[in-house]
Amino acid sequence: MRTVSERDLGLRLPQERDIMIMAHENPDGDAVGCVVALMLMARQLGLSHRAYLPGDTPLPAEYSFLPDLQDIMRGGFPEVHSATSLYIMDSAAASRLDVHRLQCAGDCINIDHHQDNEGYGTLNLLDPTAASTTQILFNIFRAGDLPIDKAIGTALYIGLVTDTGRFQYSNTTPEAHRMAASLQELGVDVNGVYSQLYERTPLPKTRLLAVALERLSLRLGGALAVSSLTAAHFTAAGADERHTEGIIDQLRRIEGVRVAAFVRERVSDDGAQQKVSLRSTDGSVDVASIAHLEGGGGHVRAAGFSADGDVESVIAWIEREVKARL
Ligand SMILES: [Mn+2]
Q: Would you say residue 105 has pLDDT above 80?
A: no
**What is residue 168's predicted lDDT score, i.e. its pLDDT?**
93
97 Cα–ligand 1 center, Å: 15
What would the pLDDT profile of 9-45 be if each residue is shown by its tens digit? 999 999 999 999 999 988 999 999 999 999 999 999 9
Check if 6-198 and 203-323 are the same fold: no
232 Cα–ligand 1 center, Å: 30
Q: Would you say residue 98 has pLDDT above 60?
A: no
Q: Does domain 203-323 sit in CATH 3.10.310.30?
A: yes
Q: Can you tell me the mean pLDDT for 77-85?
A: 86
How much of the chain exceeds pLDDT 90, in percent?
A: 81
Q: Would you say residue 100 has pLDDT above 70?
A: no
Q: Can you tell me the mean pLDDT for 37-62?
A: 94
226 Cα–ligand 1 center, Å: 24
177 Cα–ligand 1 center, Å: 16
136 Cα–ligand 1 center, Å: 10
CB atoms within 5 A of ion ligand 1 belong to: 30, 90, 133, 163
What would the pLDDT profile of 184-239 be if each residue is shown by its tens digit? 999 999 999 999 999 999 899 999 999 999 999 999 999 999 999 999 999 999 99
Three-state SS annotation for the chain: CCECCHHHHHHHHHHCCEEEEEECCCCCHHHHHHHHHHHHHHHHCCCEEEEECCECCCCCHHHCCCCCHHHEECECCCCCCCCCEEEEECCCCHHHCCCCCHHHCCCEEEEECCCCCCCCCCEEEECCCCCCHHHHHHHHHHHCCCCCCHHHHHHHHHHHHHHCCCCCCCCCCHHHHHHHHHHHHCCCCHHHHHHHHHCCCCHHHHHHHHHHHHCCEEEHHHCEEEEEECHHHHHHHCCCHHHHCCHHHHHHCCCCCCEEEEEEEEEECCEEEEEEEEEECCCCCCHHHHHHHCCCEECCCEEEEEEECCHHHHHHHHHHHHHCCC
110 Cα–ligand 1 center, Å: 13
Q: What is the mean pLDDT of the chain?
A: 93
* Candidate from 71-75, 115-119, 154-158, 274-278 with smallest mean pLDDT: 115-119
71 Cα–ligand 1 center, Å: 22
**What is residue 104's predicted lDDT score, i.e. its pLDDT?**
57
What would the pLDDT profile of 244-284 be if each residue is shown by its tens digit? 988 999 999 999 999 999 999 988 777 789 999 999 999 99
Q: Does domain 6-198 sit in CATH 2.60.120.380?
A: no
Where in the chain are the domains?
Answer: 6-198, 203-323
160 Cα–ligand 1 center, Å: 8
Indicate the pLDDT class of residue 101, thresholds 50, 70 and 90.
Answer: low
159 Cα–ligand 1 center, Å: 7
205 Cα–ligand 1 center, Å: 22
**What is residue 109's predicted lDDT score, i.e. its pLDDT?**
95
The pTM assigned to this predicted structure is: 0.80
* Candidate from 7-16, 66-75, 114-123, 206-215 with smallest mean pLDDT: 114-123
Indicate the pLDDT class of residue 322, thresholds 50, 70 and 90.
Answer: very high
**What is residue 79's predicted lDDT score, i.e. its pLDDT?**
83
133 Cα–ligand 1 center, Å: 5
236 Cα–ligand 1 center, Å: 31
